Structure 1
Amino acid sequence: MCYDCSAEPNKAGTSRRSFTRFLAAGAGLTVLAACTPEAPKAVAPSSAAPSVSPSPAAVTAAASPTADPPTAAPAPPEPSPTPSPSAALPRQFSLTDPASPWLIVNKHRPLVPATYVPADLMQPAVATTASGEAALLNSTTAAAAEAMFAAAARDGVSMVLASGYRSYSTQAATYNGYVASRGQADADTASARPGYSEHQTGWAFDIADGSGVCGFQPCFADQPAAVWAKANGHRFGFVVRYPWMFHPITGYYYEPWHLRYIGVEAATDMANRGIFTLEEYFGVEPAPGYL
């Protein structure tokens, strides 16, 4: 929103305390900083290696003075720290058309036209705290959201739609409010400029937990809805668009509540291959700030 985030920090450790101190210093990232997600547990090495009997061939080779020394196996190549974008799925949809599920809109890639309005906005049949236009999504995203919310409910997780579509004029008012209260430099870390927001496309929305705890706050990352969505969202075509510590690529700090629809095939491919951002997956340049 680390270039090496294949293992994220422990969510109850030093990273959260350090990041909290950073926010308290006046960085103005209160709603964008993140709780540190859970990292895989390390496996302790065995205290004693298992006993393995040498093969007859190995014994013979060791006993024979004329035997050639065994050939060492070549070292495996080191993995690339960043997956190659060329390994993404074959291009199926446009990266620039606002009506495309693979659209990439960021601080380098505004919507064209800037005042784009989806032609198929609708209100999904899900629990919501939003009203008016904020309760709307495009029809494809709405159908996927309905399936995802229902699956979460079957697993005992209550997920709520907190904010969906935002028109150009609504985004302008939101952004200008941040500028007035924080200044433009800080506003650009907290809110997209009008014409640069995924919410305007109908492909993205924010979720809340049914408990109402930690809405739009860093601690939301630990709530059941966020944990479930991060682990299962790809099954319904969703990714967490602004992941932990990828702000040098996405331009935004961690937002565990912001989900983006890209389709089941692409979202599952990203999850299976450990790619965290659309910029990396589709081979688009990072967009840490506006041009």
Structure 2
Amino acid sequence: MQLLSWIIFPAVCLMLITCPSHESLKENTDSKAFKQLITQAESYVKEETTPPDAYLQKFDQDENVQLLKAALNQIGYDLELSDFYDEELTWAVTDFQIQSENASISGIYDEATKEELLSYFKEDKNIEPGEGLAHPPEEPEVTEAGTEVVGNPYDELALVNKSFALPENYIPEDLMVPDVPFPFTEDLPKKYMRENAAHALEDLFDAAEDAGLELFAQSGYRSYDRQVEVFSANASQHGEDYANTFSARPGESEHQTGLAMDVTSAEVNLELVTEFGETEEGKWLAENAPEFGFIIRFPEGKEDITGYQYEPWHVRYVGEKAAKYVTEKGITFEEYIEQFDK
């Protein structure tokens, strides 16, 4: 590891200078004293390398990212010590979270993940990389339609669209029902969202209520199999090409991520229609959603980029940092990913 080499390298150089021959060098490196030096160096590095006290996510770039990579390397990973939060680090964090007891699975380095990592240091434990989430293959899998399959579906910043599909068997492990109004009472799968998104939606709806507005959650999580039914019905009625302007093919729906929710109001009879964007609720949602980590995923005028019609009712959870950036810049999630993905 790079940090370890900074300590061991000077010691080896000293031996090269002081040892008159190859034989004596070999004797020194085989010696008990040299092995003890290595052990002490390893112990020193582990003591000095601690998980950073920072909130970090994909595309961040600073010294804390490098510290996080060094900390993960100490428990068994082999990450290049750059200062950029790349896909490789996102995979490692996700894999670690899946193998941990108390961290939420998101690919984001948060307080709970830091505490879990600290416990590994305190207990001197190591991890088996890839045991929780297999390392994405060098050559991505593709669907029958030729769409690239997302290697890390747990990533809260995963791009899911007509170019990137979720695995057919992906079902989020942390689905829950947010405590918000629904226009139906049945316990249906579409009430569910992933935990972080669900709590953020609760805060969003509370803020809307404080503003004197009433929002309703209409449709959240949707399984791959359910999307097969939905898209087949739309394709039968409208033709596959036209249907794909407003309905996603199986695997390509954000609803399968558990991070999306369709929102409506009584002003449009609880329907999912573009007129919702002209209501007080729709305008408030577009303006305030980023404060709670949501974006209007399919904005007006960006159909050629997103591949879908304008949907003022469809919000996607991406976290506050990304949501504010996307909204302030007036860009799509596709453009955000393209801008930062290196």
Deviation at 1:89, TM superposition (A): 4.8
Tell me which residue corresponds to 1:173: 229
Moved more, 90-99 or 254-263: 90-99
* 1:265 Cα deviation from its structure 2 partner: 1.2
> What is the DSSP-based 3-state SS (H/G/I as helix, E as strand, rest coil) of the residue aligned with 1:161?
strand
Partners in 2 of 1:114 and 1:139 — Cα distance?
A: 21
2:298 to 229, 242, 249: 242
Cα separation, 1, equivalents of 2:299 and 2:330: 11
Q: Deviations over 1:66-93 (max 9, x none)?
A: xxxxxxxxxxxxxxxxxxxxxx754475
Q: Normalising by structure 2, what TM-score?
A: 0.54
- Following TM superposition, by how much is the alpha carbon of 1:96 offset from its aligned partner in structure 2, in angstroms? 4.9
2:283 matched to which residue of 1?
A: 227
Q: What is aligned with 1:52?
A: none
SS in 1 for 2:161: coil
Structure 2 residue aligned with 1:192: 248
Specify the alignment match of 1:136 in structure 2: 192
Q: Does 1:122 align with 2:176?
A: yes
Q: Contact 1:158–1:211 (CA<8 Å) still a contact in 2? A: no
Deviation for aligned residue 1:212: 4.4
Question: How far is 1:114 from its partner?
Answer: 2.0
Per-residue CA deviations over 1:253-283 (Å, capped at 9, x if unaligned) read 10000000000111112223x2321111111
Shift of 1:218: 1.8
| Partners of 2:288 and 2:199 in 1: CA distance | 16
- Segments of structure 1 that go 5 or more residues without pairing to the other structure are 1-87, 286-291
Which of structures 1 and 2 has the bigger CA Rg?
2
Return the alpha-carbon distance in structure 1 between the equivalents of residues 278 and 294 of structure 2. Answer: 18
Match in the other structure for 2:214: 158
Shift of 1:214: 6.5
2:317 counterpart residue number: 261
8 Å CA contact retained: 1:115, 1:195: no
Secondary structure of 1:142's aligned partner? helix
Q: Which runs of 4+ in 1 moved over 3 A?
A: 88-96, 210-214
CA distance in 2, matches of 1:116, 1:238: 22
RMSD over aligned Cα, in angstroms? 2.0
By percentage of residues, which structure has more helix? Answer: 2
Question: In the TM superposition, what whole-angstrom CA distance separates every residue of 1:79-122 from its partner, at most 9, and x where no partner exists?
Answer: xxxxxxxxx754475685221110100101111x2231000111
What is the one-letter code of the residue matched to 1:127?
Answer: P
Q: How many Å separate the matches in 2 of 1:134 and 1:257?
A: 15
Tell me what 2:308 maps to.
Answer: 252
Distance 2:309 2:189 in 1: 25
- Between the aligned residues of both structures, percent identity stands at 35
Q: Is the 8 A contact 1:178 1:191 kept in 2?
A: yes
In structure 2, the residue corresponding to 1:215 is in which secondary structure? Answer: coil
Instruction: Give aligned pairs, total.
Output: 196
1:1-291 matches, within 5 Å, as 89-90=60-61, 91=85, 93=90, 96-111=151-166, 113-130=167-184, 131=186, 132-213=188-269, 215-272=271-328, 274-283=329-338
Question: Which range is displaced more, 124-133 or 159-168?
Answer: 124-133
Cα distance in 2 for residues equivalent to 1:168 and 1:216: 21
Paired AA for residue 258 in structure 1:
H
Deviations 1:167-208 (A, max 9, x none): 111111000001111111111112101111000110101001
Note the alpha carbon deviations across 1:46-73, whole angstroms, 9 max, x for none. Answer: xxxxxxxxxxxxxxxxxxxxxxxxxxxx
Describe the superposition over 1:26-55 as per-residue Cα deviations: whole angstroms up to 9, x where unpaired: xxxxxxxxxxxxxxxxxxxxxxxxxxxxxx
Could you tell me the TM-score, scaled by structure 1's length?
A: 0.64
